[in-house]
Structure 1
Amino acid sequence: MATADADVSKTKAWLMAARPQTLPAGSAPVVVGVGLAVHDGVFAWLPAVAALVGALLIQVGTNFANDYYDAVKGADTEDREGFTRVTAGGLIPPERVKLAMVATYALAVVVGVYLVAIGGVPILVVGLSSILAGVLYTGGPYPYGYRGLGDLFVFVYFGLVAVTGTYYVQAVTFADAGLFPLGLPADTLPLTAVVASLPAAGLSTALLVVNNVRDRETDAEAGKRTLAVMLGYRASRVEFSLLVGMAYVVPVLLALDDRFGLWALAPLLSLPLALSVGRTVMRRTDGEALNPALERVGQTLFAHSLLFAAGLAAPALL
């Protein structure tokens, strides 16, 4: 693990704890949900902005939770090759990181009040379960991130839920469902929204795979049984390839649909970046190579999502 610097300012330490380099995982699915909403003629700017702010707050809150709980559970050791964790590194007292986690999730709830008012019970369930899942990833008596389930959590919440939820809170404003609908009004969650969520789900999970491949040895020593620890390097690389591959197969499938056409192929412009980082993941396991690779996967995720959103929206705008 990178050695904590006694001269690190408090501002820099809090930025390290918030991990802004992970924010593409929170914002990218929202961008895709907005692009599809524009395509379907149900774009609504206020719910879209609220969904983005809420997603980013949950992402940061989860980062604080992971920093805090990994430290107090002893999963972050001096041998860890990842970016410096502020709790384990002694840069910020544990109780202050925990307080930041609670405060950030509380802000997400404040934003969520508006989304729940228009989205009703479906958004209430999604919002509360997202926060609970973020805490229990490394917190609680049975943290599921230590039991090989972290990949599933990221796939579901940073892909399927984030994209479809963003689409839904916009579409429901056109459904004349009133405040706080108890179920899903008709035509507010089409199958195409689920399909369009798969690339963001795959690339977001690929981020976690790279992180866990890098930390496989130290995680195993600390008793943290991530999926990479359970599967080993070879199978983890197969998982990474399948997740990234899916992100580029889905646009091709949508391009076969006349409603989207060739515009849906726009994400393929990011393929060279994905292939470049893929070569590193296939060959290396050390932090020196995989820390930059993590950032490049995040760049791939964001570039793919921007291009995908633009391609989805293009037929309605041109």
Structure 2
Amino acid sequence: MWIKGMRPQTLPLALAPVLIGVAQSWMGVFEYSQGGGYDRHLPCPTFGGRPEAHGHYDDVHGACVTSMGWFLTVSVLCVCVALFLQIAVNYANDYSDGVKGADRGRTGALGGPDGNASGVGRAPSRLVASGVHPRRVLVAAGVSAALACVAGLAVTVLTGYWWLVLVGVACLLAGWFYVGGRHPYGYHGWAEVFVFVFFGLVATVGTQFALTDTVSLSGIWGGVNIGLVAVAVLTVNNLRDVDEDRLHGKRTWVVRLGERGGTVLLDVLLSLAAASALLFLLSGASWQNIAIGPDCGVWYPDGDLDHAVQVCDVWKYQLDVAMYWSSVVLLVLFAAMCVAAILTVHRRRFRMALPLCTLSSLVLAAMYWTLSFLR
């Protein structure tokens, strides 16, 4: 019951932006940003992040070599922060909406028949509305938030950027005041903005900055791309709950635009997400490199200038070809899932549309990963 109450179907939305942030980081950390061979750099300390370049290291583009263990540890911790924050927000929303009566119609056994077997009826049951004591749900939200804080503090210690604590506090406040407190912003039409910012930009570029000390245009692009998908998921939820939201004074964008306007909004969001992914694929020069062929050079055995041998990096070329066409396949799959989600929403089959949208975020993250091998 508690596992279903944490709404695991929403967790891909927490995981995808972190995966995109990692994808836009690893190549820069382990290849480009080092500015030369590993023998030209000191190893990074385990704690406190990467120090600034100084002394005889000023002439190279990178202060130290980041270990794979450090990189993987920070990446996993960022995943934990995102997942536990998402779970905490889900429990907190269950608690807040439950005590306000906004979930009054969502009773019954969690995950069981609740009038929604066809995918058209009410939303899945909630804990408080199903009879669980609100304080227990609030405690579950607090425990999840505490686990996110522990992981976030570990990231802060490993990177040395203590101001990241302020980012974590902002995430916690945004999660609580979504529907909690006296004036929840989710009831006044700001939820879509906050979801785009925190589930898109903050999660993606925050991960990239923690891993690389910088934010790239591709990282921001990925944050915008996944943010559009996150807002689309929220829009599907709001279309499903539009009547109850209107009854309880929850002025979402769908309530303000009306059901038809909300459906058009979803069409626009998913269309923009697919178009943004396509532009990102076309923005690189990877396809031009593939058309040119493998990178070749000249090798002189034993320094003999009369016997030049052409050497081509065929393996790297074959990997580039495989990653490029994998990216194309993933893009087509992502676009197909967006189209399918749009069609199911137009048919009011919201229970089918939600997993299509959430799982499409993982497909999008996979596309960014395959493209990261080409940049």
Q: Aligned partners of 2:281 and 2:341: how far apart in 1?
A: 25
Pairwise CA RMSD of aligned residues? Answer: 1.9
Q: Give the corresponding residue for 2:14.
A: 26
Q: Aligned partners of 1:47 and 1:259: how far apart in 2?
A: 30
Kindly state the Cα deviation for residue 234 of structure 1 after the two structures are TM-superposed: 2.1
Kindly state the Cα deviation for residue 268 of structure 1 after the two structures are TM-superposed: 3.1
Secondary structure of 2:24's counterpart equals helix
Q: Deviations over 1:183-238 (max 9, x none)?
A: xxxxx012221112112101111100000001001111122221111111122122
Matches within 5 A, 1:52-91: 52-78=79-105, 81-90=122-131
- Comparing 275-284 with 214-223, which one deviates more in the overlay? 275-284
The alignment of Structure 1 onto Structure 2 pairs a total of residues equal to 283
Distance 1:76 1:229, change over 3 A: same
Q: Deviations over 1:84-130 (max 9, x none)?
A: 1011111x211111011111111111111122231524522221101
Corresponding position: 1:226 with 2:267: no
Q: Aligned partners of 1:165 and 1:259: how far apart in 2?
A: 26
Secondary structure of 2:171's counterpart equals helix
Corresponding position: 1:315 with 2:374: yes
Kindly state the Cα deviation for residue 271 of structure 1 after the two structures are TM-superposed: 1.4
Write the letter of the residue equivalent to 1:21. Answer: Q
Kindly state the Cα deviation for residue 252 of structure 1 after the two structures are TM-superposed: 2.6
Q: Aligned partners of 2:103 and 2:286: how far apart in 1?
A: 46
Corresponding position: 1:272 with 2:312: no
Cα pair 1:151 1:208 within 8 Å, conserved:
yes
Cα pair 2:20 2:369 within 8 Å, conserved:
yes
Q: Give the corresponding residue for 1:254.
A: 280
Cα pair 2:341 2:352 within 8 Å, conserved:
no
Q: Give the corresponding residue for 2:135.
A: 95
Q: Give the corresponding residue for 1:238.
A: 264
Secondary structure of 1:232's counterpart equals helix
Cα pair 1:254 1:261 within 8 Å, conserved:
no
Kindly state the Cα deviation for residue 296 of structure 1 after the two structures are TM-superposed: 1.6
Cα pair 1:70 1:76 within 8 Å, conserved:
yes
Structure 1 unaligned runs (5+)? 1-12, 173-187
Q: Give the corresponding residue for 2:200.
A: 159
Q: Give the corresponding residue for 1:128.
A: 169
Q: Aligned partners of 2:73 and 2:341: how far apart in 1?
A: 36
Q: Aligned partners of 2:357 and 2:138: how far apart in 1?
A: 28
Secondary structure of 2:90's counterpart equals helix
Q: TM-score, normalised by structure 1?
A: 0.84
Write the letter of the residue equivalent to 2:101. Answer: G
Q: Give the corresponding residue for 1:46.
A: 73
Cα pair 1:254 1:260 within 8 Å, conserved:
no
- Comparing 108-117 with 243-252, which one deviates more in the overlay? 243-252
Structure 2 unaligned runs (5+)? 31-67, 107-120, 289-323
Q: Aligned partners of 2:284 and 2:185: how far apart in 1?
A: 42
Write the letter of the residue equivalent to 1:298. Answer: T
Q: Aligned partners of 1:200 and 1:170: how far apart in 2?
A: 19
Write the letter of the residue equivalent to 1:61. Answer: A
> 237, 240, 262: which is aligned to 1:214?
240
Distance 1:218 1:25, change over 3 A: same
Write the letter of the residue equivalent to 1:248. Answer: A
Kindly state the Cα deviation for residue 247 of structure 1 after the two structures are TM-superposed: 1.6
Corresponding position: 1:105 with 2:148: no
Q: Aligned partners of 1:25 and 1:164: how far apart in 2?
A: 15
**Identity rate of aligned residues, in percent?**
33
Q: Deviations over 1:128-153 (max 9, x none)?
A: 10111000001011011111111111
Distance 1:226 1:259, change over 3 A: same
Distance 1:40 1:241, change over 3 A: farther
Cα pair 2:77 2:151 within 8 Å, conserved:
yes
Kindly state the Cα deviation for residue 297 of structure 1 after the two structures are TM-superposed: 1.2
Where relative contact order (Cα < 8 A, 6+ residues apart) is larger, the structure is 1
Distance 1:27 1:161, change over 3 A: same
Distance 1:199 1:153, change over 3 A: same
